[in-house]
Amino acid sequence: MSVLKFTNDHEYLRIEGDVAVVGISDYAQAQLGDIVFIDLPVVGKKVAKGKELAVIESVKAASEVYSPVSGEIIEVNAELGEKPALVNDDPLASGWLVKLRVENPAETETLMDETAYADFVKAL
């Protein structure tokens, strides 16, 4: 069973065992508009919670994506190189950005669940 968590910066984290799939929320992709390029990290890179993970460029702006947890990048969504709009089309599934091995599972406890995130977005 996978668990979906969100950050205040609109990244999501889907826990699948000891691996976390990271991307941006549907709200975030809608705010960005048409995504034209994504700068992803390299496999093997260590990332810290709250630090820059990737950069997404849209027709409106460039926006940093921050890592929801600390860990090591074990896979990047290579399909986004050719089709960055997958993030617009299906951000929570085929539009994922990276998979990382979670270093400290306790860091996920500070993230919002789907209900809390929906309430957070409504208040914006």
Q: Which of 115, 4, 123, 111 is closest to 66 using CA atoms?
A: 111
Buried b (16+ CB within 10 A) or exposed e, 63-80: bebbbbbbbebeebbeeb
pTM summary value: 0.96
Q: How confident is the model at residue 29 (pLDDT cuts 50, 70, 90)?
A: very high
pLDDT at 1 over 90: no
pLDDT digits (tens, 9 = 90+) for 43-78: 999 999 999 999 999 999 999 999 999 999 999 999
What is the per-residue pLDDT for 17? 84
Average pLDDT over residues 11-38: 95
What is the per-residue pLDDT for 62? 94
Average pLDDT over residues 79-98: 97
What is the per-residue pLDDT for 3? 86
What is the length of the chain? 124
What's the whole-number average pLDDT of the chain? 96
pLDDT at 99 over 60: yes
What's the CATH code, domain 3-107? 2.40.50.100
